[in-house]
Amino acid sequence: MTENSITVEGLEQSFGGVMALAGVSFQAPEGLIYAIIGPNGAGKTTLFNALCGFYQPSAGSIHFNGHELCGLPPHRIAALGMARTFQNLQLFFNMTVVENVMVGCHLRARTGLLAAALRLPRIRREERRLREWAHVALALCDLADRAEQPAGALPYGLMKRVEIARALAAKPRLLLLDEPAAGLNDTETLALRELIARIRASGVTVLLVEHHMPLVMGISDRLLVLDYGSVLAEGTPAEIQADPRVVAAYLGGAVQYAV
Amino acid sequence: MRLAGFYLFAALVALLPVLFPDNYFVIVIGASAGLHVILAVGLNLLMGYAGQISLGHAAFFGMGAYASAILTTRFGWPSLLALAAGLVATGAIAWLLARPILRLRGHYLAMATLGFGIIVHVIMVQATRWTGGPDGLAGIPPLNLFGWSVEGDLQWYGVIVAAMLLALWLALNLVDSQVGRALRAVHGSEFAAQMMGVDTGRAKTQVFVVSALFAAFAGSLFAHQQAFVSPDSFNLTISVELVTMVVLGGMASTFGAACGAIALTLLHQGLVVFEDYEMLIHGALLMAVMIFLPQGLFVGLSQGAQRLWVTLRQES
């Protein structure tokens, strides 16, 4: 397969006796929006944490960008082109918005401790470049006018946007969005939908965990349904909505929202 | 403009001995405050920016001091070479220590660094053959900078102030760079920092070593300035005082740490006249600052001044 697709095979994640992921397999094709849905506790965030190296999977394999990810630490996985946002905000509240996004550019920066301490000319150039890159990511997320504000002073919806800008600043091939619409109002959700569409248009593969069914069904190319750590179904939004098992286990009345 | 505060501060400390010539208080206490500034600014990189506590920082201060003392008195090394050797040795020890110790967090890290500080202090007291034991080492030759032998209070003031300004400049540069942002990211959310590609283990190790180097540098200067070292200058009380300086001035602010170091040095001098009550007043003042200015003296007061300024402008 191509570089930006991710292939997961037989992924297992157990915590003590609890099997949070019981052999999950799927393939998210390049350049598409691949959503992962399921009831609370189905293992969606666990799956994300395993993909990005925060957990060490008990078994299985994750193949991305020509590498096996199992066993790699998060910063190495990030270097292969994966970025993510978090269900519970993980902003750097001790920094401004633009500084947050500049940290997102870390992998594109060449810095040395000594060079930075001595403020060599190349560090000055690097600083300017990082700031420019950060502003590009901020503009993409409609945050340009918030650049110099402390990250903690923003309304919740914008904080979630800063997380997306920070992840995009890394120029990822694969972006993991963990419940980006949680806590957003309808207007913000609509703007988010446009933003995710723009991200896909730029060639980034998106993995989306989300509970907001109109958003998921409207924007995803394919879906994976998890239940109790196992794959319940996989397919296009239309197929998923027509699947009686999914309807029974999870969607219920949500089918009527289908776009 | 980025360094406007720095230049202002540099001009101020350079002018002090001109404005107050032959003033014992300015020259001697000023030099002592300068050493404390180097220590506090270094510790602040670790504590204020990277969010890792060290309750054993006096150990690195002591290592630098004893390296200079032992190498110059017992082996007759030139003072600059001894200083460099002290930096290399302290940096190496800090590096070896960093990986295992910085895996710990919060209280556990505090306990581990505390233990390290105590071990180093015990070695200073017990390894009598090298360190002179509790009596310390006397007769340390003056610092020799390429033929210039630093002697007298005024010359020492100049050397220490120059060293302090160098430390401040390095710290300010470091903080305002991608390296510094990565450190603050570790403090803000270690998981998110890792996902941005920051090797957090490496970043923490680096800042721990840098912080130890600042302390060792101050230690070498201290040993030559005093011409004498003893374990009492590097015990747990000193470690706690260094932490107090950082917190008192304001965490995650280089000038805050410097301000805390100066304030605490002056406080000690000012309270000497109260003798037995010194610790009592000292403690009460610290509690008052923590209650009323929890962000620290420097950060709290400068934010207050900013708010006042904005209010005044709106009213006029």
pLDDT in single tens digits along all 259 residues of chain A: 466 789 999 999 999 888 899 999 999 989 999 999 988 888 999 999 999 999 999 999 999 988 999 999 999 999 999 999 999 999 999 899 999 999 999 999 887 899 999 999 999 999 999 999 999 999 999 999 999 999 999 999 999 999 999 999 999 999 999 999 999 999 999 999 999 999 999 999 999 999 999 999 999 999 999 988 999 999 999 999 888 888 877 655 544 444 4
What span, in angstroms and rounded, lies between the C-alpha atoms of B80 and B89? 14
Name the token pair of B126.
Answer: 């017990």
Per CB-CB distance under 8 Å, the chain B contacts of A111 are 177-179
- Write the residue in B178, B197, B210 that is nearest to A75 by C-beta: B197
Residue B193: which residues within 8 A CB-CB, separation 6 or more? A92, A103, B182, B185, B186, B200, B203
Backbone angles phi, psi at B141, to 5 degrees: -70, 160
- Write the residue in B178, B180, B191 that is nearest to A90 by C-beta: B191
- Write the residue in A86, A107, A130 that is nearest to B192 by C-beta: A86
**Residue B2 CB: number of other CB atoms within 10 A?**
9
What span, in angstroms and rounded, lies between the C-alpha atoms of B210 and B106? 20
Residue B225 pLDDT > 70: yes
Per CB-CB distance under 8 Å, the chain A contacts of B177 are 111, 116, 119, 123, 127
- Write the residue in A104, A109, A119 that is nearest to B173 by C-beta: A119
CA distance B177 to chain A (A): 6
Query: pLDDT tens digits for B266-293?
Result: 988 888 778 778 778 878 877 888 888 8
**Strands of the A33-37 sheet, one edge to the other:** A82-84, A174-178, A205-209, A33-37, A222-227, A230-235
What span, in angstroms and rounded, lies between the C-alpha atoms of B178 and A106? 7
Range(s) of chain A covered by CATH 3.40.50.300: 1-81+172-259
Amino acid at A25: S
Half-sphere exposure of B96 toward its Cβ, with a 13 Å CA cutoff?
6
pLDDT, residue B87, reads 98
- Asked whether the CA dihedral B5, B9, B10, B12 is positive or negative, the reply is positive
What span, in angstroms and rounded, lies between the C-alpha atoms of A208 and A239? 18
Determine, for residues B195 and A84 on separate chains, whether the beta-carbon distance falls below 8 Å.
yes
Mean pLDDT of B105-131: 93
- Write the residue in B179, B187, B198 that is nearest to A113 by C-beta: B179
Residue B23 pLDDT grade (very low, low, confident, very high; cuts 50, 70, 90): confident
- Number of domains observed in the structure of chain B: 1
pLDDT, residue A251, reads 55
* Disruptive mutation site among A94, A97, A98, A100 for chain B (greatest number of B CBs within 10 Å): A94
Half-sphere exposure of B153 toward its Cβ, with a 13 Å CA cutoff?
13
Q: For the residues of B143-155, what is the DSSP string, one character each?
A: PEETTEE--SHHH
* Disruptive mutation site among B183, B195, B200, B208 for chain A (greatest number of A CBs within 10 Å): B195
| Cβ pair A76, A62 in contact under 8 A | no
- 3-class SS letters over A161-178: HHHHHHHHCCCCCEEEEE
Mean residue pLDDT of chain B comes to 92
Mean pLDDT of B250-267: 90
Per CB-CB distance under 8 Å, the chain A contacts of B198 are 75, 103, 106
Determine, for residues A92 and B252 on separate chains, whether the beta-carbon distance falls below 8 Å.
no
**Residue B167 CB: number of other CB atoms within 10 A?**
24
Mean pLDDT of B84-99: 96
Per CB-CB distance under 8 Å, the chain B contacts of A134 are none
- Here the ipTM equals 0.90
CA distance B154 to chain A (A): 28
| Cβ pair B100, B171 in contact under 8 A | no
Please name the helix (run of DSSP H) or strand (run of DSSP E) that holds residue A65, with its range, or none: none
CA distance A117 to chain B (A): 5
pLDDT, residue A258, reads 43
Query: pLDDT tens digits for B204-217?
Result: 999 999 999 999 99
Per CB-CB distance under 8 Å, the chain A contacts of B252 are 94
Q: Would you give the distance in Å from CA B85 to the centre of its chain? A: 19
Residue B61 pLDDT > 50: yes
Range of the domain at B236: 4-315
Determine, for residues A106 and B198 on separate chains, whether the beta-carbon distance falls below 8 Å.
yes
- Write the residue in A94, A123, A126 that is nearest to B252 by C-beta: A94
Domain holding B167: CATH number? 1.10.3470
A1-81+172-259 carries CATH number 3.40.50.2300: no
What span, in angstroms and rounded, lies between the C-alpha atoms of A21 and A109? 36
